[in-house]
Structure 1
Amino acid sequence: MRKSGRIGDGRKAPARLRASPTSQDEGFRLAVRFLAQRDRTAAQVERFLLSRGVTSPHIEQAICSLTDLRYLDDLAYAQRWVEKRLATKPMGQERLKAELQAKGISDGLAERVLTEVFQRNGEEVVARLALRAMSHQGKQLASGHMARFLHQRGFSDEVIDRMMTEFKRSEDVVHEDE
């Protein structure tokens, strides 16, 4: 195959016919270009390089080099991602953990990051933020809907129970004032 990616008669070669990266440098360059688009986890980089035909030893070397250069840092990635996610769409630990794991963050690392974040914020505070955001969207806060909403957002049963108790207490106060 020619360097231009064209077949002998001038047609462009299909992507699957491209030569696979054979050197360590080529795998590293591919990974750097992939990371230049946005922040990624080591697992995401590994999956990407595998899909491009990079061999396992070259993937390991690329990931080690990227980690040494601090281009890859799963802990920092998870911390930034959780903070951003909570700011844009407040949700509970269970759902955040599942989303982090889907991105390739290990169970232990996800637990560590979530423990730190929720020690600062508290899951009940985040649940209140989620409910406030829901009410600002004009949605009615019926107790059944509220419980389903919190469950879908990954809040624990204990937090949902406390939020429901709090909601019922505030609803009782409103009815007493009438």
Structure 2
Amino acid sequence: MQIKSKACGAYATNCYIVFIHGKELIIDPGVNATSWVLAEVKNPVAILNTHGHFDHVWSNEALSKTLHIPIYAPKEDCFMLENDPFLQGTPSSKADVCVEPDEKLDIAGIEVSFLHFPGHTPGCSAILIEDALFSGDFIFKNSIGRYDFPYSDAKQMRHSLEKFLHLEEAWKIYPGHGASTTLQSERQNIPQWLRVL
């Protein structure tokens, strides 16, 4: 498995391309991600969204239509793709698959799990492919996602952090913004965040 990333748009949102088994999965194609993705992929099979915020889904529709591939998004955030709730002028897209919490999928022979960590958004998920966890805006290097936006929920964030604290796998984390990190490193930071929630 190979992973490429590009920070896109004013919020430097990480768009990822996962190259695996001769295919590609596109994760969180944000603002101005389209041209970069099209230059990189040869056999794309799906677009995956960690959550529904505009800076993670902006290029969904352009890429889905151009590449003729489906969009997968967490069920509780599917409305955000269609309705532009933050009034950012986000191009409307529609998830072909609204993924259930903690659902494991087979996408063109690739095992993909959407681990549900609500709080930042109702459907906020971390996408697991082999030993790589694409954490969206749930966990960053030395930080966590905000929980003061519309549709955010501090109580849900607390529960999600407690759930994350019990994971023990040797996963590498690829967040929605900033540098990569590891699950083991970020588990050490969780108690301090729980103290302020």
TM score, norm. by length of structure 2:
0.24
Higher helix proportion (structure 1 or 2): 1
Could you tell me the TM-score, scaled by structure 1's length?
A: 0.26
Q: Which has the larger radius of gyration?
A: 1
